[in-house]
Amino acid sequence: METEATETTTTAAATALSVAEGRRRRERKPTATATRWPDFEARTTYEPSTGVPRSYFLGHHRAALDHMRRVLATVGLVIECRDLRVPLTAWNPLLETSLSSGVATEEERSSSSGRGDEGQSKTGGVAGLASLSSAGPLASFLPSAQTDRMRIIVYTKRDLVVDESAGGRRSQRSQAAASLSPSSADLRRLAGFHRNEADAVLFMGGGDEQGTAAAGAVARREASRLVAAVRAAAQRHGQQSLTGLRALVVGMPNAGKSTLLNRLRAHGMADPSRRARAAKTGSQPGVTRKLGTPTPTSSDDTLLLMDTPGVFVPYVQDPESMLKLALAGCVREGLVPSVALADYLLFQLNRRDPARYVDAFGLRQPTTDVHVLLDAVARRTGKLARHGEPALDAAALHLVHAWRRGRLGRFCLDDLDPDSLAAARDAARRGSPLSLNQARRREKERRKARQAARHSGIVFTETGSTA
């Protein structure tokens, strides 16, 4: 019984993040629901099943980490890809600590820049670099200390989060879609969140040059923007050329690393016949299983990029975070039951715009019952079993895939309001347990501290400090 209670107990940092998200949810009521279905009441909190798995840390993840550590001495740049649909949940402390050697400490950064820093480093004794936000409208150039290794954070799949509808006069549907997307202020706030951790923070889509002409043009622009950010960072580090610079492209599974590498490889190549893919890509995680060989980005600059397998966190603190990662496709299909994913997606859609699924699948009104929704999905799409019964698993997968393609709205699963970002920074500073055993040890230590505080007549706070 105690083991089960321990497994479901989150850290104080996770609790703080949950409180911030809960406050955000209570204050937020979808306008579409209020106008079309005034009597509908969406769930304000989500209670995940205790059977949701907490890990997807595979053998090739560990092998990839070991290989990355071995080649780190020859690497001058780390490009970390993060899925913009789960910008806070997808933070991987294991990658953070494994690839941190060579980054200036906070004291070194303060002495070299001549000023102190408001931010603190993440647990593990690592402080990052001063940040350079994404080029373009969200640019915010800041001085960076002279350090051994550069770091750039790229938020991928922007096209599945931000509504890019062009034109001054939008349809009602386009306006509703834009209202679901993070605002420019949200993205600026997210970029500022990393001001002490990276040389640059950029936001890029998930398309490539082999798509439509418009998608290809966007892909080329974004690749040019990233190369420009690398050059700017290199110059601040005293390098006038990218020749010979080796870069690791890292991140969680299915974060868009191979897609980014292919896009950079094609950058500057005028001959389309030379734009062959350098790395395999796919919609499921685990396509890349080992470190790739160094690949030049273009004919004029010999920046060498190495693709790496996605590395999952060894332990996910709370079930809702695992549901977010699974919904974004960071884990193998089937690890989390598809109906559970559909139920969590229904919760998220009801928070924002339930009209998305009501109109798409022919319901009369929104629902909080996932089986009602899946029944409608199955009958609308022909996902039926024997005797015409709805095939719930197939319907759930159809629903999840529709959202992953952006057909049920484009939005972050994490809230990006100031409270949520502050809670996430708090969690980063305190550190996250890297295994179930570590989580149990921390809970045991907190119980001992609470007991000692009671015996001493001291008030023990949720953060583990005394007052």
Q: What is the pLDDT of residues 255-297, one digit of tens each?
A: 998 888 888 877 755 554 454 445 554 455 544 545 666 777 7
Q: What is the pLDDT of residues 192-222, one digit of tens each?
A: 988 888 999 999 987 654 557 777 788 888 9
Cβ atoms of 141 and 133 closer than 8 Å: yes
Q: What is the pLDDT of residues 352-383, one digit of tens each?
A: 999 999 999 999 999 999 999 999 999 999 99
Q: What is the pLDDT of residues 75-120, one digit of tens each?
A: 999 999 999 999 999 988 888 777 764 433 333 333 333 333 333 3
Cβ atoms of 350 and 44 closer than 8 Å: no
Instruction: Identify the weakest region by mean pLDDT among 56-65, 179-188, 434-443.
Output: 434-443
| Alpha carbons 167 and 335: distance in angstroms, whole number | 42
pLDDT of residue 225: 92
Closest CA to 79 of 213, 211, 255, 239: 255
The structure tokens 């996932």 sit at 370
Instruction: Name which residue leads in pLDDT, 433 or 347.
Output: 347
pLDDT of residue 310: 87
Burial class (CB in 10 A: 0-12, 13-18, 19+), 460: middle
Q: What is the pLDDT of residues 408-467, one digit of tens each?
A: 999 999 999 999 999 988 887 777 666 667 766 776 787 788 788 777 766 545 444 444
Count how many Cα atoms sit within 13 Å of the Cα of residue 433 in the half-sphere of its side chain: 25
Kindly state the percentage of the chain with pLDDT values over 70.
Answer: 67
135-168 CB burial, b ≥16 within 10 A, e <16: beebbeeeebbebebbbbbbbbbbbbbbbeeeee
Closest CA to 120 of 437, 426, 414: 426
| Alpha carbons 312 and 331: distance in angstroms, whole number | 8
pTM for the full model? 0.75
**CATH code given to domain 59-307:** 3.40.50.300
Q: What is the pLDDT of residues 230-254, one digit of tens each?
A: 999 988 888 878 888 889 999 999 9
Instruction: Name which residue leads in pLDDT, 131 or 26.
Output: 26
Residue-averaged pLDDT of the chain: 75
pLDDT of residue 210: 53
Query: What is the domain partition of the chain in residue ranges?
Result: 59-307
β-bridge mates for residue 150, sequence order: 77
pLDDT band, very low/low/confident/very high, at 324 (cuts 50, 70, 90)? very high
Kindly state the percentage of the chain with pLDDT values over 90.
Answer: 34
CB neighbourhood size of 270 (10 A): 8
